[in-house]
Structures are given as structure tokens and as C-alpha cells.
Chain A
Amino acid sequence: QLVESGGGLLQPGGSLRLSCTASGFAFNRYSMTWVRQAPGKGLEWVSVISNNGGSTKYADSVRGRFGISRDNSKNTLFLQMNSLRVDDTATYYCARDSYSNFDVWGRGTLVSVSS
């Protein structure tokens, strides 16, 4: 099971840190991914981190502004979001990543960026 938290309403230029707490599987054996979905729109892959945190990748749309990290001792995944823009408004899902197949998803947390 995955449970996201940390979403909210904020102004453009602001920062937010999302968390995703995992249970029921060996968290430290899996890569983890963030996927977002703007209201009424499709899915967009955001970022991935390897099981030990040693490798990360980002979508062009967030590279340089977002940072993914994890704490395997606490079974928790993070997404630090800086310099937020209106078009970052979306539901953010964390997902367990098995060779680019996202086989376990959280329920999502809504991030709204508006002036």
C-alpha cells in the first residue's frame, strides 16, 4: 500500500514537499516513481528514483525544479517541488516501479498552484 501526503494550495513560486509512505512490501528493493495528472487530463511521468537512491531521473517539465529522494529506513518517498507554476497543478501519485511498470499506486495528493 502507498499513501501520499503533503498536497495543498499555494501561490506560484512556492515550494512544497510531498511524501509517500509504503507498507506491505520490501520498499528498499524497488525503484519508485511519481506520476501526476492535471485536472481532466492524462497521466504524466514526473520522476523516478532507484531502490538505493543512487540514481534519479526527471521529466523535462520539472528538471531543475523538483527533487526526488527516499528514506528506506522509514519506507518513505519524497518529492521536493520548488518554483511551482500554475501548470504544476495536478494530483500527484506515487507508484512502485518494476522495470518501468507501475504496479502499485497510491490514491494521490492534490497540489493546486494559483495566484
Chain B
Amino acid sequence: QSALTQPPSASGSPGQSVTISCTGTSSDVGAYNYVSWYQQHPGKAPKLIIYEVTKRPSGVSPRFSGSKSGNTASLTVSGLQAEDEADYFCSSYTGGMNYVVFGGGTKVTVL
């Protein structure tokens, strides 16, 4: 199972929006609504910010939103803030022995 494809970097000014794509296949992202997104600050553990494509865990800012079309999922961060500068990883359930596959990660920079 190959990793999901994410752009290595994305950026935006404070207050702007940034959207990160996560492209898989018809066997993972396209097949299941079990796409998650994780935020990771340097030296910290990842944090779940979106699950099942569009759902936000309790306590996660509504500025984070998720969507999916076909084999590509997306994470949008609205109203960028300095604290949003971090690495973001997508993941998808695969239904097979490899269970879950991650994207390579996107580093978001707030200009």
C-alpha cells in the first residue's frame, strides 16, 4: 500500500485560508469515509483534528474543516493563526492487512 500524496508545503498570511490535498486511490480514500487529519507541532505527538472526513473532535477549532471528492481528501484551515504553523498528516483506512495508510505530510507556514 503506497502512502497517500500530500504537497510538501503550504503557506498563507494570518487571516487567510489554506487548503491541503491528500490523494489516494479507489482502494483507500475513495472507498471509505475514514479519512483523518493530524496536526503535529515540532517535538510533539500528533493530534487528531478531523476524523471520518468532516468531523471535528471536541475542542478542535471550527477553523479546521475537511472534505472529500473521489480519491482526494482536503483539509482547509480558515483564518490562519500563528499557532497553526505545523505539520499536517492525512490518513485513510484501507480495509486490508495494512489497515491504515498515512500521507507524507504537509508543512504549513504562516507568513
- Chains A and B come from one and the same complex: yes
**8 Å CB contact of B102 from A44, A48, A107:** A44
Report B-chain residues with C-beta under 8 Å of the C-beta of A9: none
Q: Please give, as numbers and ranges, the residues of chain A lying within 8 Å of B34 by CB-CB distance.
A: 99-101
Inter-subunit contact B105/A105 (CB<8 Å)? no
Interface size band for B? 20 to 34
Evaluate contact between B3 and A103: CB separation under 8 angstroms: no
Q: Does A59 belong to the interface (CB within 8 Å)?
A: yes
B46–A102 CB distance below 8 A: yes
* Interface positions of A (Cβ within 8 A of B): 33, 35, 42-45, 48, 57-60, 63, 93, 98-103, 105-108
Question: Judging by beta carbons under 8 Å apart, are B36 and A42 in contact?
Answer: no
**B residues near A, CB below 8 A?**
1, 3, 34, 36, 38, 45-48, 51-52, 57, 89, 91, 93, 97-105
Interface of A (DSSP majority class):
strand
Residue from the set B57, B100, B101 with the largest chain A CB neighbour count within 10 Å = B100
Cross-interface CB contact of A102 among B3, B38, B98, cutoff 8 Å: B38
- Contact between chains at A106 and B38 (CB < 8 Å): no
B44 CB to nearest A CB, Å: 8
- Measured between beta carbons, the chain A residues less than 8 angstroms from B3 are 42
Q: Does the CB pair A42–B97 fall under 8 Å? A: no
Residues A42 and B103 in contact, CB atoms below 8 Å apart: yes
Which residue of A33, A43, A44, A60 is within 8 Å of B38 (Cβ)? A43
Chain A residue with Cβ nearest B32: A100
A residues within 8 A CB of B57?
103
- Residues in A with CB closer than 8 Å to B36 are 100-102
Judging by beta carbons under 8 Å apart, are A60 and B45 in contact?
no
Nearest CB of chain B from residue A38's CB, rounded to whole Å: 12
Whether A45 contacts B93 by the Cβ 8 Å rule is no
* Candidate in A43, A48, A93, A105 with the most chain B CB atoms within 10 angstroms: A43
Are B48 and A45 within 8 A (Cβ)? no
Q: Which residue of B lies closest to A57 (CB)?
A: B99
Contact of B46 among A63, A98, A105 (CB under 8 A): A105
